[in-house]
Amino acid sequence: MNVELTVQFEEPTEETLVELRTVVQSLSDDPERIRVYADQEQKGDGPEDAGWLIAEFSMATLPEEEAVDRIAKVLDSSLADRLDSTISFPKER
């Protein structure tokens, strides 16, 4: 299943990007197809516009609720400094 994980940090750094990639590698069923990048569309000045990073990857097919729980547990234990996050499951093309 395809996953798009969007994670907000106050001020993401290159180290933050590497940490997110490491987290996603632990979840992915195909580490070669992981894509992690900064969201270039969030350009406002408000706190809700702080640095968002996006990770696109695939993981073993699970019921979505189970996948969300698994991802949330990993985020809670590995990226405690995140401000917010969203998880979506884009359909394959």
Give domain 2-88's CATH architecture. 2-Layer Sandwich (3.30)
Please give the model's pTM, rounded to 2 decimal places: 0.85
Q: Dump pLDDT digits (tens) for 71-84.
A: 999 999 999 889 99
* pLDDT for the residue numbered 80: 83
Q: List, in order, residues 6 or more apart from 59 with CB less than 8 Å away.
A: 1, 3, 27, 28, 29, 67
**Model confidence band, residue 48 (pLDDT cutoffs 50, 70, 90):** low
* pLDDT for the residue numbered 11: 86
Indicate the domain borders of the chain: 2-88
Q: Which residue has the tokens 């073993």?
A: 60
Task: Examine the pLDDT at 42 and tell me if it is beyond 70.
Answer: no
**Model confidence band, residue 49 (pLDDT cutoffs 50, 70, 90):** low
Q: Dump pLDDT digits (tens) for 22-38.
A: 999 999 999 999 999 99
How far apart (Å, rounded) are the C-alpha atoms in residues 76 and 85? 11
Q: How is residue 67 annotated by DSSP? A: H
